[in-house]
Amino acid sequence: MGITVHPLSDVLGAEIKGVDLSNILDDVTVRDIHDAWMEHLVLLIRGQSIDDRQLVEFSSRFGSLDGAPIGSERGGKVSTDEHNEITVISNVIEDGQPIGGLGNLESDWHTDMSSYDEPPAASVLYSLEIPPTGGDTSFCNMYRAYETLPREVQAKLQDLKAIHDATLTSTGGLRHGFEAVKDVTQTPGARHPILRTHPETERTALFLGRRTNAYVPGLSVEESEALLDMLWENSTKAENTWTHTWQVGDLIMWDNRCAMHRRDPFDNAARRIMHRTQITGDQPFYKPPEVTPTAA
Ligand code: OGA
Ligand code: MN
């Protein structure tokens, strides 16, 4: 019995049914999930009941896993000594210590850890406890963000890079060891091409990391701000997004190479606990698509 794939919107996202992640999946099932993922950018698998070992096992079928970025990146910590690949995303405080990162705050649109030279290819988030309201997670389609730009803008972007800020967390806090950016031309963080060729689908996506402190080297600050504002607005407009309301036992995997995400805030009196893994990526690049000669 194979899996079935159910698209969740016209923008991106598909639900995979017919899979129990507490089992070791066979290669055909993994391939089918992978193919659906490349087509739909974000996958949802509901009603799961898995432990950290099973989450690590499932995630690692799609690539090697990064270790949890203890403290530095998201203020999260590893959940157990055995599973360094698990990061906890939570607002819960135990014995005066946060058990995970991101708290209950809004997290603005971002690509995970894009300030790194080799940012993660993908992230997998599994829900253990969910507040009654709030904390929804939204995704936007960065292929479409590119495809819906005017031709002349697409052409201009081919040669541009952007600096991806390393100083702020996705909830806007200053990361340990960084100073607040005063001049965006000096923002610390990786420089990546604004157009990105997806290494597996070979499609072109727009690649934005975080709006705050971003800068396009070679342009004046004014030009850079105007261009980035336009690109961000086009990418995150409602018709290019899909929002997920979580239930306990949901697993979502998203592809950071062609989708950005954000999260709504929620009441801090409620508890939200997610366990997360991250699939290692490589250096973003842009290779112009080969032009197929058209008949004269
Ligand atoms: C993340 C993230 C969103 C959420 O884990 O990278 O942005 O819904 N999480 O908690
Ligand atoms: Mn994130």
Give the model confidence (pLDDT) of 26-67 as tens digits. 999 999 999 999 999 999 999 999 999 999 999 999 999 998
Ligand 2 centre from 261 Cα, in Å? Answer: 6
Residue 89 near residue 130 (C-beta atoms within 8 A): no
Ligand 2 centre from 170 Cα, in Å? Answer: 7
Ligand nearest to the CA of 126: 1
Per-residue model confidence as pLDDT tens digits over 198-253: 999 999 999 999 999 999 999 999 999 999 999 999 999 999 999 999 999 999 99
In a domain, 163, yes or no: yes
Query: What pLDDT does residue 290 have?
Result: 85
CATH of the domain at 97: 3.60.130.10
Ligand 2 centre from 113 Cα, in Å? Answer: 8
In angstroms, the Cα distances linking 132 to 8, 143, 269, 271, 290 are 22, 33, 11, 9, 49
**pLDDT tops 80 at residue 292:** no
CB distance 137 to ligand 1 below 6 Å? yes
In a domain, 92, yes or no: yes
Q: Is 291 exposed, middle or buried (0-12, 13-18, 19+ CB in 10 A)?
A: exposed
- Report, as an integer, the average pLDDT of 194-200: 98
CB distance 256 to ligand 1 below 6 Å? no
Ligand 2 centre from 290 Cα, in Å? Answer: 32
Nearest CA to ligand 1 atom 6: 112
Query: What pLDDT does residue 74 have?
Result: 45
Show the domain range for 81: 4-279
In a domain, 143, yes or no: yes
d(CA 50, CA 76): 20
In a domain, 288, yes or no: no
In 3D space, the residue among 105, 52, 118 whose CA is nearest the CA of residue 74 turns out to be 105
- Report, as an integer, the average pLDDT of 181-210: 97
Half-sphere exposure of 173 (CA within 13 A, CB side): 16
CB distance 275 to ligand 1 below 6 Å? no
d(CA 232, CA 230): 6
User: What number does the ligand 1 atom closest to the CA of 107 have?
Assistant: 7
In a domain, 284, yes or no: no
Ligand nearest to the CA of 123: 1
- Joined tokens for residue 73: 């990146």
Q: How many domains does the chain have?
A: 1
In a domain, 292, yes or no: no
Residues having C-beta closer than 5 Å to ion ligand 2 = 112
In a domain, 177, yes or no: yes
Lowest mean pLDDT among 31-35, 62-66, 95-99, 128-132: 95-99
Nearest CA to ligand 1 atom 9: 263
In a domain, 291, yes or no: no
